[in-house]
Structure 1
Amino acid sequence: MPSKTVLITGCSAGGIGHTLAMEFQRRGLTVFATARSTSKMSGLEKLPNTTLLSLDVTSPTSIAEAVERIKAQTGGKLDYLVNNSGRNIMIPALDADIDDAKEMFDVNFWGILRMVQGFAPLLIEAKGTIVNIGSIVAYLHKPFTSKLEFPERSVARALSLADRLRAGLYNASKAAVHQFDETLRLEMAPLGVKVVTVVTGSIETNIITNCPEPHLPPTSRYLAAKGALDKQYENKLDFKQATPDAFAKQVVGDVLGGAVGKVFRGPYAGTVRWASHIMPMWMQDRILLDGSDLDKVGKTAS
């Protein structure tokens, strides 16, 4: 019997996609690992039943070429589509370049829609599963921060995960994915296709590496908070993190086990799930603002 097939986007070495590809392959699947450049997926080329493909999720032409390539190799079926590609920008909303923000959304949100539309016929034929990598920051409204010293320490650490990676625009892109997935899950069910959203906690990845360094313009209203933003970018934060390998084992187990809807994986994911529903807004705000230096913004120096 032919093995099940999976296509994963964003498989550059050092990221979640790379380890997901390795774990799916270890469990006997035929893997199509993709990135904009195949040279970035070092190590995967040595794995049996693994094909490396160049794929840009912002390019309809690139996606169409990948669809035809996979259709030819699988007989027109794809069992699992894992949308993992992502971009990050780190800047206050008032200082953000709209074109940069659009480019981020083009990868993080519209790229997922392009992939879903492009591979839908193969997924429907296989009665397959769409897996979109989300984040706990979709539940948070963290600006930027450093290490917290809040009394409710475990909750504070969990809620402050957004500080470690991203600013509000990134959070918004992930929230859009989560909301999209909930509707997509209902729309795809009559076609026999499952939709899974992986709400990702704190994982060791290279997402900061490809994030442009934040530069506040001289006219920025947030210059007083620049130190907190710099700490976020420089990764000078104290958080528990799961290794990509451990995360991949859990997620692949969920997916192959028939999960549907949201699954929460990685440190702090469970806490954020609880806190986002139970904790009152004023308490969330107090935790999320701690260490952000936003209390210094708008103050006139004496």
Structure 2
Amino acid sequence: MPVSDISLPDAKALFDLNVWSYITITQAFLPLLINAAKTSPSPSLILNNTSVSSIEQTPHNSAYHASKAAAAMFSTHMRIELEPFNLHVIDMKTGCVHSRFHANHQEGIASLPENSLYARDSKVQEMTEGAMRGAFPDREDPEVWARNVVNDIMSTWDRRAWLGGSALPLEIWRGTGAWRTWFYNCTFWPTGWWDEWWRKAVGLDLLKEKVRKGYGA
């Protein structure tokens, strides 16, 4: 949902699910994890599935992305704060994976409020609601994603055993679009280029032109 149309109660519920619940679970299991790490040469492991959404600026998904960004920052602090207790934290930057993610939101037919700023032009409304409903259908099979994640962790763990302590990963980028997100957001690409790509993907360039003409510019 665009920021201008967000339901604040819904957004707060989303943060309860994507941020506070996983911290609650971590605190609940922390004594067990620390106790296990005392008697093992290998660290106890915490994997936080924060998503590529923690850094990618897909329009009309701000509340979800903000919750994942918050989870990612908590994950970073966990990694630093828990390291003295022989705990290792991995941030899983998961891309698109087949699920009921969009089907569960307004039964797959998410729509704008009638008075939305983005409902004043039929083409823009169509593209906006398409993005809200999941306009990017290329998604990885969850079993493939799971096997890749396990392999990323276990192969590194094997190297630790054989090569004398190779570092476990800090992040795992898996799922459709994960590599692309890393490349365009974590390397040398300018932010303005990627912003413009997203504007065109959801029709914000059309809206900008319509608004410009409306102002008589």
TM-score, L = length of structure 2? 0.79
Q: Which 10-residue stretch deviates more, 113-122 or 199-208?
A: 199-208
Q: Which residue of 1 aligns with 2:180?
A: 271
Indicate yes or no: 2:117 matched with 1:117.
Answer: no
Structure 2 counterparts to residues 278-293 of structure 1, below 5 A: 278-293=188-203
Q: Which residue of 1 aligns with 2:141?
A: 243
4+ residue runs over 4 A deviation: none
Q: For 2:215 and 2:105, locate their aligned partners in 1 and report how far apart those are by CA, in whole Å.
A: 32
* Greater helix share, structure number: 2
* Aligned positions, number: 189
Q: Which residue of 2 aligns with 1:253?
A: 151
Q: Which residue of 2 aligns with 1:209?
A: 103
Secondary structure of the residue that 1:278 maps to in structure 2? Answer: coil
Pairwise CA RMSD: 2.1
Q: Which residue of 2 aligns with 1:230?
A: 129
Structure 2 counterparts to residues 60-75 of structure 1, below 5 A: none
Q: CA deviation at 1:214?
A: 2.9
Q: CA deviation at 1:220?
A: 1.5
Q: Which 10-residue stretch deviates more, 252-261 or 206-215?
A: 252-261
Q: Which residue of 2 aligns with 1:192?
A: 86
Secondary structure of the residue that 1:270 maps to in structure 2? Answer: helix
Indicate yes or no: 2:87 matched with 1:171.
Answer: no
Please, which runs of 5 or more residues in structure 1 have no aligned partner? Answer: 1-90, 145-166
Whichever residue aligns with residue 78 of structure 2, its letter is: L
Q: For 1:121 and 1:168, locate their aligned partners in 2 and report how far apart those are by CA, in whole Å.
A: 34
**Is the CA contact (8 Å cut-off) linking 2:11 and 2:63 kept in structure 1?**
yes
User: CA offsets per residue over residues 155-174 of structure 1, 9 Å max, x none?
Assistant: xxxxxxxxxxxx11111111
Whichever residue aligns with residue 57 of structure 2, its letter is: H
Q: For 2:72 and 2:5, locate their aligned partners in 1 and report how far apart those are by CA, in whole Å.
A: 26
The partner residue of 1:100 within 6, 10, 16 is 10
Instruction: Name the % identity.
Output: 26
**Is the CA contact (8 Å cut-off) linking 1:142 and 1:289 kept in structure 2?**
no
Q: For 1:267 and 1:216, locate their aligned partners in 2 and report how far apart those are by CA, in whole Å.
A: 27
Structure 2 counterparts to residues 86-165 of structure 1, below 5 A: 91-127=1-37, 128-144=44-60
TM-score, L = length of structure 1? 0.58
Q: For 2:135 and 2:173, locate their aligned partners in 1 and report how far apart those are by CA, in whole Å.
A: 25
Whichever residue aligns with residue 32 of structure 2, its letter is: L
Change (3 A) 1:205 1:238: closer
Q: Which residue of 1 aligns with 2:160?
A: none
Please, which runs of 5 or more residues in structure 2 have no aligned partner? Answer: 38-43, 158-167
Change (3 A) 1:214 1:235: closer
Q: For 1:253 and 1:217, locate their aligned partners in 2 and report how far apart those are by CA, in whole Å.
A: 44
